[in-house]
Structure 1
């Protein structure tokens, strides 16, 4: 019987989340998608956005530390967080593109660590299924940060349909990243500069290969396990 006293239920929930940090990271990122639009247009909101980004980075480090060597992640995270804090709270916005570039590299590193974790054996666990969803969101965030750094260094890199070139918001770049990786092609954001188009093509390639290699393998192993039972 799986019933647990109410006193033990919170402990079991906490224990389960500690065993599956990917689930926490996925939940925070999905919450961010809903909350970021409320943060973009005010100074306080942008400050909260910076703080939330740092919190997400901390969770990324937690996840990476489980999946691969951590010194590389810390080497990327410490200067990134420092520059992000200086940019958002010390009036040094010129550092923000560099922070975003390092965050993009950190997220790509986290993606590589989680993919290696998911491909390390022939079993499919609940944690690996959650990690598959988390890896996709990390990939989307990584390209969004890369797009952000690109448009800061090369103004006019992205435009929107019927809107003249101007700096796109974080949500617009994240929307472009998700729509490109998923292959749905619904984004109204258009890459204009050669670097922006190169990054977008890499996002297309990454999205197709992720579904073809990682997701299809997890599905195949799940089907094999069910057939054996």
Structure 2
């Protein structure tokens, strides 16, 4: 096994985090073209594969992830090629569940012992991005079921793009309050409130625990 492959096997959470952050950079560049949308679809499949890889290291059952991922990819490709909106919505709903499931699996992986490894620190970042993606997919499904769910200055009635919904998700999850996208319909507001709660609890339960264990390890006398 090559050194690079060994490194990836030791730190799959780091690979997942890098790919997710790379998506944040690439989406604005390719979102408005047909080729770009195809590339985004392929990129999503890569992210799903990495998510499955990370889940396989965790304590959860890997078959659940495959049960969500395979029909999601099939429905997404079929819906895009055949221009069937219902299939795309169904695929996004499955992707939403997969990202939530993977985030929960990574959280269990970080909480299963009292040691803090470098991969667990990467997992903390990857879990945050997974939650942001999961809620962005939930927002996308919501606005297709309930048109006008999200408003924005200048184009209040237009449906929000994927990048706008992802931007809103990151803003809500991090509690910085910088987004100009606002929930209008009650279902959208309910989803935003759930993400606000998830963001606060993630900081309180997961990040604070990792920081505390890291400080405790640093304060222990060396043997």
Shorter-chain TM band: over 0.9
SS of corresponding position for 2:158: coil
Deviation at 1:32, TM superposition (A): 0.6
TM-score (normalised: structure 1): 0.93
SS of corresponding position for 1:156: coil
Q: Which residues of 2 match residues 182-193 of structure 1 at below 5 A?
A: 182-193=174-185
Equivalent residue, structure 2, for 1:6: none
Deviation at 1:40, TM superposition (A): 1.1
Deviation at 1:167, TM superposition (A): 1.0
Please point out which of 160, 167, 171 is paired with 2:159.
Answer: 167
Please point out which of 61, 68, 71 is paired with 1:69.
Answer: 61
Equivalent residue, structure 2, for 1:60: 51
Write out per-residue CA displacement over residues 102-141 of structure 1, whole angstroms, 9 at most, x where no aligned residue. 1111111111111111000000000100000000000000
CA distance in 1, matches of 2:178, 2:12: 31
TM-score (normalised: structure 2): 0.96
SS of corresponding position for 2:151: strand
Are residue 227 (structure 1) and residue 219 (structure 2) matched? yes
Q: Which residues of 2 match residues 107-122 of structure 1 at below 5 A?
A: 107-122=99-114
SS of corresponding position for 1:155: coil
Equivalent residue, structure 1, for 2:6: 15
Please point out which of 45, 54, 72 is paired with 2:36.
Answer: 45
CA distance in 1, matches of 2:79, 2:18: 26
CA distance in 2, matches of 1:14, 1:187: 39
CA distance in 2, matches of 1:94, 1:39: 23
- Corresponding residue pairs, total: 220
User: Contact (CA 8 Å) 1:175, 1:187: kept in 2 or not?
Assistant: yes
Deviation at 1:13, TM superposition (A): 2.8
Equivalent residue, structure 1, for 2:196: 204
Write out per-residue CA displacement over residues 173-222 of structure 1, whole angstroms, 9 at most, x where no aligned residue. 00000000000000000111111000000000000000000000000000
Deviation at 1:163, TM superposition (A): 2.4
Write out per-residue CA displacement over residues 40-88 of structure 1, whole angstroms, 9 at most, x where no aligned residue. 1111111111111111111111111111211111111111111111122
Structure 1 residue ranges without an equivalent (≥5): 1-9
What do you get for the CA RMSD once the two structures are aligned? 1.2
